[in-house]
Chain A
């Protein structure tokens, strides 16, 4: 950061301060590191006129895959959607850091809300059994025939959905999901991995915050 101009430094500082006011899970110094890392990830700044500056879907996906170990296509798209809050098909600095705050340090409640949005494929605030089926359709690859696979998945989805649909209205709402996950934490990522695991988080933090540790 030493060769950065004073101007840039000041800009960075102001940005970091403004972001850390909104994202309370990181302090300003950490936010600075994250911004810096974001800029590195971004590489060449987006040429003006070619869309909103920020991480586009492809870049974001490759980061998810390589850094956070989330590899399912559907899940990567959905996670992108949750990061990209303003729906402009690009993740801005602010959006990136807000998203990461949940990824790295989110409480269970944060993660429940986040994951529910990931799983709510059509964004209608409910997860329907069809959506669940869609997310899990390939979850039993080891069965020999397609019929068996389909039947097994159907069975598993039904068992799970029955358990998680607390109010038995045929669709899963956020309270349904929340209640189920609180009862059994394993259900947090029931329909697909959309959070980095412990090791990845640790590795990421170690890399990005290494300046601070010194």
Chain B
């Protein structure tokens, strides 16, 4: 109690009423806890309750004599208890307004009398007795405890009577300590929940949204789903390394009116991310929107349809605001008198309010949702065991990740009787029974009746599973009755939107039965079937199953139709529908690398290419979706180019459908790595539509795809020229601020490419792009940092730009990126430093001003990444032009580190390494040091390299080294002269001069040598 009262309880701080307990919710719950403890004390611990306090607890009470009953001695206004302590003082004494109490039994009696004023009494008592434990047990707690220890050891056995009372004291102490612990842990729990959302709240909200996103006119959303089926034991679905950043889970929500939303739920709130679509993806975690307090707020702000309908629909009614607590907390904020924090407090209150508004709704949710688990517990699911297909044991479910934990949690929270099972459960159970015993007619009718349920609702979905309905539905697929198969698939197609159902279907081997139907001659059946596969194959194991049972081939075969005929017969239309569903299924399957390969081997690329000519957007979206998914593979990129799909992709860029445009742009993004593809995009006039997509700034995914495509296309200089006609650079520069990271990465990549053309460097400067670029150097996203440093580096090749970069302290920022753990960032930063140092006005001074900078760069020579090493060598070559800095580099041991690298065979590294060696020779005895360290011999070998750039820098380095006689001897021994003479015939003047100079030095030494021999 001591600890919790001093630490946890929120005492008001305003001077006027110091020592009051602030009426915060936490204090209220604390008081309640204390109250309960005291009230139950005398019944639970009668002996301890009689223990007389060392000092009475005194406080001013609101109770008066008339409140006391007859078993007290009442005289006028004063009241005394008949019980007295051993000194004759009454254990309870009231002389208004003060009351003195000397034992727990009296305390609890008093509280009973106080009735509805109990809380106030407890509060007053605690406020006026700031350290009740000391008063109750006396100040010398330590001595008691010592005694206790001794006692438990059984050593002391004297003074029994006193001992006994001490004994009680110890017990009392322990009891109070227990209470203290309880209070603290309760406080902690409360505080835990305060920060914002928690997994439970998120899940409940998602469930609520799911219930309202089922089909029908009244639905507010098209669909709501998690990206990951796996739930960690703490209720989170985010991968652990994201959980470390307080992220709980990711959602994909399709609103009715806008494009699909990719949402991150974190403890701080919810926000849009860069498009985390499936589990296992490594990108898109960046925040791309403001943080909203909950999903509803986010949806309301993004989807007008949702905002409009959400207000109409019942879940608004489900959320009666609980004003009371909120009010209390607001008062608290005022009383604390901390105006500077008031904003934060307000915000917290909003959170609090929202959560509390949700509280009743949660209960509601649970009511509808949780019985599934309980049915399991109660063994009500026996029908499952009856069907032969139900061979899946129960524990297979509880083992498999998510749902068990999830549902367990709920059954813990809701341990009531099972009277509140939803009526849907019983009805579905009944229907499943009919399915099992009925003939063909009954089956068809039952399936129709089942379809009448809201199958997009989790309650119904799980009810079907829990009563063994999945097995029956799957069994129906193996019968001969087309009607029954259609009915079964119509149900499976819908319930397979649920992750648990998907997993259950795969676990029981149902996917194999589903795939068999792909061979059916009935087209309606095939279309439904493929659509079901599209839903089920949303996780890895399912996708693997599809592949292993030859499903990919069958699905590819479905694509065979004539999509672009003007007038289709009814049959042809059905073919198109089958192909569309097949494409949907392949899209789901194409998330796995091996499936991409399987699709290609089955001839899917050609088929997809043909469907790409379809005029229908609902066909094009899955087709292009699959293609862009597969374009991560080299083989597809080639095929897309050679099969002439670039033309179609470019054409579809101009369709007015955001999703389609996004997939097309993404496909171009992935394919435009290839030069020929870039050419084709220009040829088919795809550059302008790409630029015009930049105006759709509200759709971040589309924007990211479009900027990505522009980036890759701009690798070709001709494309950059073309882009300039549409003022692409100016638009891109506007996108350098306030954009989500995945957009920024691409924009920066593009700016980096554009900046390779001198005219564009000036444009960037004039549009204020340099400042935006430098600002972005402080980011954390590695891909972004790589691209921003590239862009800054490209800009720094212009003197005027360099002045601005220098002014904005950009070099320091780039330099500090050398500390980034990512090798890509390190090398990119080092490359960017080269032009910066070269073009800065007073480069030497600038470099020196960066404390520890030179040591940092020398240390990076210990990297194992060749690209990093090459870039650092290049930077060192630039730095070493300043003598003072070279001296510092030398002090840091640059000679030894460079020498260690000389045995490399990487030409790119060799080139820059030789350049660095050449420049580092210019200080003190460095030439000799290189020789002593053994750098000369390997360098000679570089002259045999096939790379001309290596020859040039090597010759220059050798020329520098040859000014040390010992090095000349080494070189000569290694046969350098012949190699150099060969290079003396080069048409590169620098190479030629360096080679000649080196040979001259060797020759001079030889002559001196001969003279010495002759004359001495």
Residues of A whose CB lies within 8 Å of any CB of B are 135-136, 138-143, 152-153, 155-156, 159-160, 163, 184-187, 189-193, 197-198, 202
User: Known contacts A160-B448, A160-B449: does B486 contact A140 (CB below 8 Å)?
Assistant: no
Q: Which residue of A lies closest to B444 (CB)?
A: A186
Contacts of B481 in A (CB 8 A): 197
Docked complex Cα distance between A143 and B434 (Å):
9
Q: Verify B439–A163 contact, CB threshold 8 A.
A: no
Q: Verify A156–B442 contact, CB threshold 8 A.
A: yes
Of B434, B486, B490, B521, the residue contacting A156 (CB under 8 A) is B434
Docked complex Cα distance between A29 and B338 (Å):
96
Q: Verify A142–B436 contact, CB threshold 8 A.
A: yes
Kindly identify, within residues 443 to 496 of chain B, every residue whose CB is under 8 Å from any CB belonging to chain A: 444-449, 451-452, 481-483, 486-487, 490
Docked complex Cα distance between A153 and B437 (Å):
11
Of A142, A190, A197, the residue contacting B448 (CB under 8 A) is A190
Of A139, A187, A197, the residue contacting B442 (CB under 8 A) is A139
Q: Verify A139–B448 contact, CB threshold 8 A.
A: no
Which of A141, A159, A192, A197 has the most chain B CB within a 10 Å cutoff? A159
Of B438, B444, B447, B449, the residue contacting A140 (CB under 8 A) is B438
Q: Verify B439–A190 contact, CB threshold 8 A.
A: no
Contacts of A191 in B (CB 8 A): 441
Docked complex Cα distance between A202 and B521 (Å):
11
Contacts of A185 in B (CB 8 A): 486
**In the complex, B430 has a CB within 8 A of chain A:** yes
Q: Which residue of A lies closest to B446 (CB)?
A: A156
Q: Which residue of A lies closest to B447 (CB)?
A: A186
Q: Which residue of A lies closest to B483 (CB)?
A: A186
Docked complex Cα distance between A136 and B439 (Å):
10
**In the complex, B328 has a CB within 8 A of chain A:** no
Q: Verify B439–A139 contact, CB threshold 8 A.
A: yes
Contacts of B447 in A (CB 8 A): 186
Kindly identify, within residues 122 to 158 of chain B, every residue whose CB is under 8 Å from any CB belonging to chain A: none
Q: Verify A163–B434 contact, CB threshold 8 A.
A: no
Of A155, A190, A197, A198, the residue contacting B444 (CB under 8 A) is A190
Q: Verify B444–A156 contact, CB threshold 8 A.
A: no
Contacts of A135 in B (CB 8 A): 441
Which 6 pairs across A and B sit closest by C-beta, in order of nearness? A142-B437, A139-B442, A139-B441, A159-B449, A140-B438, A160-B445
Q: Verify B441–A136 contact, CB threshold 8 A.
A: yes
Of A138, A141, A190, A202, the residue contacting B445 (CB under 8 A) is A190
Return A168 CB to nearest CB of chain B, in Å: 16
Q: Which residue of B lies closest to A185 (CB)?
A: B486
Docked complex Cα distance between A48 and B428 (Å):
59
Kindly identify, within residues 489 to 536 of chain B, every residue whose CB is under 8 Å from any CB belonging to chain A: 490, 521-522
Contacts of A153 in B (CB 8 A): 442
Q: Verify B441–A184 contact, CB threshold 8 A.
A: no
Return B388 CB to nearest CB of chain A, in Å: 14
User: Known contacts A140-B434, A156-B434, A198-B522: does B442 contact A163 (CB below 8 Å)?
Assistant: no
18 additional A-B pairs beyond A184-B448, A202-B521, beta carbons within 8 Å, are A136-B441, A139-B442, A140-B442, A153-B442, A159-B445, A163-B448, A163-B449, A163-B452, A184-B451, A185-B486, A187-B444, A189-B444, A190-B448, A192-B441, A193-B441, A197-B481, A197-B482, A198-B482
Q: Which residue of A lies closest to B525 (CB)?
A: A198
Contacts of B451 in A (CB 8 A): 184
Docked complex Cα distance between A135 and B449 (Å):
18
**In the complex, B440 has a CB within 8 A of chain A:** yes
User: Known contacts A142-B436, A152-B434, A156-B434: does B441 contact A190 (CB below 8 Å)?
Assistant: yes
Return B447 CB to nearest CB of chain A, in Å: 6
Contacts of A184 in B (CB 8 A): 448, 451
Q: Which residue of A lies closest to B445 (CB)?
A: A160
Contacts of B436 in A (CB 8 A): 142
User: Known contacts A186-B486, A189-B483: does B445 contact A156 (CB below 8 Å)?
Assistant: yes
CB contacts between A and B, total, < 8 Å? 71
Q: Verify B440–A193 contact, CB threshold 8 A.
A: yes
Return A136 CB to nearest CB of chain B, in Å: 6
Docked complex Cα distance between A202 and B520 (Å):
14
Docked complex Cα distance between A185 and B979 (Å):
86
Docked complex Cα distance between A114 and B486 (Å):
22
Contacts of A190 in B (CB 8 A): 441, 444-445, 448
Q: Which residue of B lies closest to A197 (CB)?
A: B482
Q: Which residue of B lies closest to A164 (CB)?
A: B448
Return A198 CB to nearest CB of chain B, in Å: 6
Docked complex Cα distance between A155 and B433 (Å):
12
Docked complex Cα distance between A197 and B482 (Å):
8
Can you sample 22 A-B contacts with CB below 8 Å?
A136-B441, A136-B442, A139-B438, A139-B439, A139-B442, A140-B434, A141-B439, A142-B438, A152-B434, A156-B442, A159-B449, A160-B448, A163-B452, A184-B451, A186-B448, A186-B487, A186-B490, A187-B444, A190-B441, A193-B440, A198-B521, A198-B522
Q: Which residue of B lies closest to A190 (CB)?
A: B445
Q: Which residue of B lies closest to A132 (CB)?
A: B445
Q: Which residue of A lies closest to B451 (CB)?
A: A184
User: Known contacts A159-B449, A186-B483: does B444 contact A143 (CB below 8 Å)?
Assistant: no
Contacts of A141 in B (CB 8 A): 437-439
Contacts of A142 in B (CB 8 A): 436-438
Contacts of B490 in A (CB 8 A): 186
Return B902 CB to nearest CB of chain A, in Å: 77
Docked complex Cα distance between A159 and B452 (Å):
10
Contacts of B448 in A (CB 8 A): 160, 163, 184, 186-187, 190
User: Known contacts A136-B442, A156-B449, A189-B444: does B483 contact A143 (CB below 8 Å)?
Assistant: no
Return A41 CB to nearest CB of chain B, in Å: 26
Return B194 CB to nearest CB of chain A, in Å: 49
Q: Which residue of B lies closest to A72 (CB)?
A: B441
Of A139, A155, A192, A193, the residue contacting B430 (CB under 8 A) is A155
Contacts of B445 in A (CB 8 A): 136, 139, 156, 159-160, 187, 190
Which of A135, A153, A198 has the most chain B CB within a 10 Å cutoff? A198
Kindly identify, within residues 933 to 984 of chain B, every residue whose CB is under 8 Å from any CB belonging to chain A: none
Docked complex Cα distance between A160 and B490 (Å):
18
Return A38 CB to nearest CB of chain B, in Å: 27
Contacts of A140 in B (CB 8 A): 434, 437-439, 442
Contacts of A187 in B (CB 8 A): 444-445, 448
Contacts of B449 in A (CB 8 A): 156, 159-160, 163
Docked complex Cα distance between A198 and B482 (Å):
8
Q: Which residue of A lies closest to B490 (CB)?
A: A186
Return B983 CB to nearest CB of chain A, in Å: 81
Return A167 CB to nearest CB of chain B, in Å: 18
Docked complex Cα distance between A196 and B721 (Å):
67
Docked complex Cα distance between A142 and B442 (Å):
11
Q: Which residue of A lies closest to B452 (CB)?
A: A163
Which of A140, A163, A187, A197 has the most chain B CB within a 10 Å cutoff? A140
Return A180 CB to nearest CB of chain B, in Å: 9
Docked complex Cα distance between A136 and B441 (Å):
8
Return A5 CB to nearest CB of chain B, in Å: 40
Kindly identify, within residues 171 to 203 of chain B, every residue whose CB is under 8 Å from any CB belonging to chain A: none
Return A161 CB to nearest CB of chain B, in Å: 10
Docked complex Cα distance between A155 and B490 (Å):
23
Contacts of A202 in B (CB 8 A): 521
Return A125 CB to nearest CB of chain B, in Å: 22
Docked complex Cα distance between A184 and B437 (Å):
23
Q: Which residue of B lies closest to A152 (CB)?
A: B434
Docked complex Cα distance between A143 and B440 (Å):
14
Contacts of A186 in B (CB 8 A): 444, 447-448, 483, 486-487, 490
Kindly identify, within residues 384 to 436 of chain B, every residue whose CB is under 8 Å from any CB belonging to chain A: 430, 433-434, 436
Return A142 CB to nearest CB of chain B, in Å: 3
Q: Which residue of B lies closest to A142 (CB)?
A: B437
Return B437 CB to nearest CB of chain A, in Å: 3
User: Known contacts A184-B451, A198-B482: does B439 contact A138 (CB below 8 Å)?
Assistant: yes
Contacts of A155 in B (CB 8 A): 430
Q: Contact string, B724-758, partner A, CB cutoff 8 A, digits 1/0?
A: 00000000000000000000000000000000000
Docked complex Cα distance between A153 and B447 (Å):
14
